[in-house]
Amino acid sequence: MKIAKSKNNFSLFLLLLAVFISFFLRVGAVWDNNFAFTMDQGRDLVDIRQMVVTLRPRLVGPTTSINGVLLGPAWYYFLLPAFVLGGGNPAAIMLWQIIWYQLAGVFLWFALSKINRYLGVITAILFLFMPTGFYVNRYFWNANAMPIFSAFFFGTLLLALRQPSRKKLFLTGLVAGLGLQIEAAFGILFFPFAFLCFLNKFYNDRVIANPPLWRGMWRSQYVGLLRLKLAMTSLSHFVIGFAATLIPQIIFELRHGFIMTKVLFSEFTGKAAILGAKIPFDQRIEARYQELVRRITQLSNFHPRWIMMIFVFNIFIGIFILLRRKKNIAVFSSVSLGFLIFSAVFYLLFPLPLKNWYVLGISVPLVLIISTAASFLLSKNNLILTLAVILFLVSHVLFAIKYQTEYIEQSTRPSNDPSNLRNELMAIDWVYAQDAGKGFRAYNYIPSVYDFNYNYLYWWYGSHKYGYQPAETAYLPDQPEYIRDSPRLWAKAKPADSNSSVFLIIETDHEVPEREQKWLGHFAFLCLEKEIVYPFGLQIRKMKTCPTN
């Protein structure tokens, strides 16, 4: 008893140490606003701002890769507490995502340790220190949160498979639905996969008492149908949990004449090609394989060849566990390997290009494949195998610390990214310093056209640091309203007249420079008074009404 307790305490100590170290590595990488704040992040905060200021809930969330199709609102409600508590500060949103990533690692430890104490701590360590995990926490974005929701999905699924209950089934369905709203291209796998897992378990575990004394084939078919009916009944709470997450989007579709459904139908019937042309099957195999290799090599900072060899070795161990039906641990191999096969089939049938952020969440089942094999080797109580697993885990952590420390050291230097929040705030500071409390107008050019990031920063940073907002800010003067409820949002706007300054923030457009020049043509009637050009591809022009002769 004392030995088991000391081992549990040691596992908890390792977990807390891993959480502590990885947390500070993540925070250090984005410290002092050193993270991207692009149109996507600006759009999310503009939408959340609209919710908070107007007190109107949202039924849909961010746009998908298919224009006209929106995700559910889960991402916005997920960020809402951080927005309110942080006063709209983007850094608070960034910290919120990091905290939840750490909590996802703790949850994996909690869920998996209930069956195997080795598996819980190994999975948490691999998850907390994998390169993909550090990458997705360098800027907040719904797709980057997919590993978090994947961790909660697999944790709840495994808990429900171990000891099913109505509450666990409902929670698994709920998490599956939320995952669909975070990144539909990957979250779409959760519900059907979990459904098949539960159906298989309930069908095989269900014992039929006193079946009719029929003989042969008829009796066998009756028992099979009855077991299937009972299994489907047991799944009802899982389905209800999933269906509950669809209510906001269903209401939206009913209100707008099924507009998103029509767009999706056009895309997948070939009437539209928003996601690109269909890929031939042979090219699809190569593209999917390359993406899988990319995701595997991002599980650790080992040389890609080494991590591929380790992963393939662990695949064989997982197959061995399944064939030998090893008690307790076989379910982890069946779920992780099964999901890998299930997702491979789905993406091979999916005929369109696969963007790399679609499958960030697959890192979690890939981690499970490795951790399941490692915990199985530890359970053999073989000195050589134990040392090999310990060496792998220690190297995994030390390499991660080395590479992330180097990244943090580099991040202390000035960033050459014009979309870096620190650089954007520097630009806004320059604008406000020029007119020293006077009203002005601000127009912003970024290659993606819609200036959600600067619109938001003028609203939040301008009012918080300088006490007022521009009289107008947009990507061009007199544009149709692309941000709703402007009068209520710009309560601190300082009036400007015809003699007030006009500030142009211009992010260099390397891909379509002629579009940038065309944009500047809208301000040809103004005269340049002052200009600053930053080395990171950003310039600001202070413009005034040209003097009359």
Distance CA 364, CA 354 (A): 19
Phi, psi torsion values for 530, nearest 5 degrees? -155, 155
Inform me whether the pLDDT recorded for 178 exceeds 90.
Answer: yes
Domain-located, residue 140: yes
Cα–Cα distance, 178 to 76 (Å, whole number) = 11
Q: What is the pLDDT of residues 1-14, one digit of tens each?
A: 455 555 667 788 89
Residues 441 and 397 in one domain: no
Q: Is residue 269 part of a domain?
A: yes
Indicate the pLDDT class of residue 465, thresholds 50, 70 and 90: very high
Chain position carrying tokens 């095989």: 204
Tokens for 263, please give them.
Answer: 């767009």
At residue 422 the predicted structure's pLDDT band, cuts being 50, 70 and 90, is very high
> Residue 416: inside a domain, yes or no?
no
Whether residues 427 and 381 share a domain: the answer is no
pLDDT tens figures, 60-91: 888 876 666 788 899 999 999 999 999 999 99
Judge whether residue 263 has pLDDT over 70: no
DSSP of 514-537? HHHHHHHGGGTTEEEEEEEEETTT
Angle at 159 between CA 338 and CA 242, to 5 degrees: 75
Q: Which structural domain range is residue 520 located in?
A: 421-545
Does any domain span residue 415? no
Looking at the structure, do residues 367 and 244 belong to the same domain, yes or no? Answer: yes
Banded model confidence at residue 141, pLDDT cuts 50, 70, 90: very high
Task: Assess whether pLDDT exceeds 90 at residue 131.
Answer: yes
* Boundary residue ending a domain (410, 445, 470): 410
- At residue 261, does pLDDT exceed 80? no
Span 154-176, pLDDT tens digits: 999 999 998 888 899 999 999 99
Query: How do residues 484-543 score in pLDDT, each as one tens digit?
Result: 666 778 888 899 888 899 999 999 888 888 998 999 999 988 999 999 999 988 999 999
Three-state DSSP at 232 gives helix
pLDDT for 207: 41
Regarding whether 121 and 53 lie in a shared domain, the answer is yes
Tell me, yes or no, whether 464 and 531 share the same domain.
yes
In the prediction, which pLDDT does 2 show?
Answer: 52
Domain boundary among 410, 440, 462: 410
State the pLDDT at residue 343. Answer: 95
| Size of the chain, expressed as the number of residues it contains | 549
For residues 446 and 405, membership in a common domain is answered with: no
Mark whether 449 and 397 lie in a shared domain: no
Is residue 437's pLDDT more than 90?
Answer: no
In a domain, 61, yes or no: yes
| In the predicted structure, residue 302 carries a pLDDT above the cut 50 | yes
User: Alpha-carbon distance 310 to 71, whole Å?
Assistant: 37
CA-nearest of 464, 489, 465, 297 to 473 is: 489
Residue 123 is inside which H or E element, if any? Answer: helix 117-129
For a pLDDT cut of 70, what percent of the chain falls above it? 87
Residue 205 has pLDDT above 80, yes or no: no
216 band by pLDDT with thresholds 50, 70 and 90: very low
Q: How confident is the model at residue 327, as a pLDDT?
A: 62
Query: Do 469 and 534 sit in the same domain of this protein?
Result: yes
pLDDT score for 7: 62
* CA distances to 67, 328, 409 from 340, in Å: 29, 20, 36
pLDDT score, position 217: 43
> Taking the alpha carbons of 344, 349, 354, 359 in that order, is the dihedral positive or negative?
negative
Q: HSE on the CB side for 150, CA within 13 Å?
A: 29
Average pLDDT value for residue range 275-298: 88
Cβ partners under 8 Å of residue 171, min gap 6: 156, 160, 241
Number of domains in the chain: 2
Q: What pLDDT score does 158 carry?
A: 93
Which is it for the CA torsion 43, 459, 419, 88, positive or negative? negative
Same-domain pairing of 479 and 347: no
338: pLDDT strictly greater than 50: yes
3-class SS of residue 36: strand
* 103 and 192 together in one domain: yes
User: Per residue in 354-396, pLDDT tens?
Assistant: 888 899 999 999 999 999 999 999 988 899 999 999 999 999 9
Q: Give the model's pLDDT for residue 381.
A: 87
Assess if residue 273 is contained within a domain: yes
Q: Which residues contact 97 (CB under 8 A, 6 or more apart)?
A: 137, 140, 144, 145, 148
Residues 426 and 406 in one domain: no
Angle at alpha carbon of residue 66, lines to 63 and 70, rounded to 5°: 30
Q: Looking at per-residue confidence, does 218 or 307 come out higher?
A: 307
3-state secondary structure of 456: helix
Q: What are phi and psi of 539, to 5 degrees?
A: -135, 150
Tell me, yes or no, whether 135 lies in a domain.
yes
What pLDDT does 505 receive? Answer: 94
- From 274-278, 427-431, 543-547, the region with the lowest mean pLDDT: 274-278
Instruction: Check residue 265 and give its pLDDT.
Output: 66
Pair 20, 91 in one domain: yes
Last residue of a domain, one of 410, 442, 465: 410
Report residue 501 as tokens: 């300054």
| pLDDT above 60 for 270 | no
Q: Is residue 444 part of a domain?
A: yes
Percent with pLDDT over 90 in the chain:
59
Lowest mean pLDDT among 108-122, 160-174, 252-266, 438-452: 252-266
Question: What per-residue confidence (pLDDT) applies to 363?
Answer: 96
- pLDDT greater than 60 at residue 251: yes
Residue 402 region by backbone torsions, left for phi larger than 0, else alpha for psi between -120 and 50, else beta? alpha
* Average pLDDT over all residues of the chain: 87
